[in-house]
Each structure stands twice: as structure tokens, then as C-alpha cells.
Structure 1
């Protein structure tokens, strides 16, 4: 367990795990309630951007004939792998930053 607690009273690594466990919704909730922990806020932002982007991509590929099903399956597999990796690494207290999305989340965090 992380020795640090977020402003919610939950250990930071457990909060990070919950953010990714509940994907987009968990990120939105922790963005609304967290006030202090940069670790928790970063993971909440990254979760919202990643899983929100995946939801939008899934909604848009419906309009692709033939290849849409293949792309949808690929997005689903990528989403599941990222979901598992991010849950495990955040529970371990690691600050894992995804390419592009992590950079966007970090820039947004610096503006907060």
C-alpha cells in the first residue's frame, strides 16, 4: 500500500486502481472529488481521456462498412489490455504515462 492518502481518505494507489476499474466513470468521479493528490488527478484525467476516446472511436467505426467490425474488435482488445495493465500498475503505485494521452493528461494537470 502507498503510505500517502488522497484528499478522499483513500490510499493513492487504491484510488488509482478504482479509477481504472470503473474506467471513464471512475475518472470523472475522482476528478470531481479529489483536491490534492497529483497522482490521483493524473490517473483520473488519463482514464477519462483514454476510455472516452475509445468510446467515441467505437461509436464512429459503426459507420465503416466491412472493416468496421475488424477495427472494433482491435479497439476492444487494445482497451482490455490497457485496462488491465493500468489497473495493475496503479495498484502498485506506479506513475505509468501512456503515449499522447498521458502527455495530454499531464499538461491538463499542470493547468489545474
Structure 2
């Protein structure tokens, strides 16, 4: 007969095993980021949604969200990145052969960038894309400086 030689860990060791796994319980995920937005969602979900349909969702969420700086940053960055990609695709589509090859290279780059930015926003990171992220960040510094001047 074949015997089972697998040892079942004691209950006290299971707690440390759960902390080591990449799969977290929903209770643990919800406690990490409890700040809400004016849309009624957590800021990481709303920040991730700003990238969903590019500049369209970026503009919609930017119009509704007035206070949360994290969501407004990602909405502004989403608008500018998607408009840049839209312009690049439009211009390269007008150029025969070379432009089409450029589009074939640009498409997977845009797709990977889109997924990375959505995941970073969902994880609560302020990930900036070269010049666009700096520009989006400066938009909020101007507003903060104007509010400081109005208060004084």
C-alpha cells in the first residue's frame, strides 16, 4: 500500500505562510487604501479607471473629481498620454509603408504602457511618464500656489 507522507503544518505556522503569498485576502486589500473619491470609489480604482478609455475617461473623471490629487494626477496624465498616442497614430497612418511599420511598433508599446499605468495606479503609485508626468504634476503645483495666494 502507498502511504501519505505529507505533513500538514500546524495552525500557528499558517499565519506566516499567508503573509508570504502574493494572493491577499480581500480584507487586507481594502485596508491598505481607504481614501475615497467624490465618485464613491477608492482612489486606486478611480485612478486605474482614468486609463481605461484614454482621454475620454480621463476627462470625465477629471471633471467629477475636484479634491483627490492622486486621481487628478492620473487623469491628467491619461489625457496627455492618450492624446500623444492618438496624434502619433494619426500622423503615421498618413505616411505609406514607413508609417504603417511605425504603427506596428507603436501599437504593442502603447498596449504595454497602458497596462503598466493602469496597474501602477491600482497599486497606488505615482508613476510618471517622462515629460508628461512632470507636466501633469506641475498642473497641481500651480493650483496649490494659487490657493496659497488666495488664502494670504
Q: How does 1:1-112 map to 2 (within 5 A)?
A: 1=30, 2-112=33-143
Which SS does the other structure have where 1:5 is aligned?
Answer: coil
TM-score by length of 1: 0.93
The gaps in structure 2 that reach 5 residues or longer are 1-29, 144-152
Gaps of 5+ in 1: none
Structure-2-length-normalised TM-score: 0.70
How many residues are treated as equivalent by the alignment?
112
Offset from partner CA, 1:3-58 (integer Å, 9 cap, x none): 11122221100001111122221101111110100000000000000001101111
Query: Which structure has the greater CA radius of gyration?
Result: 2
Q: 1 or 2 for the larger relative contact order (CA 8 Å, sep ≥6)?
A: 1
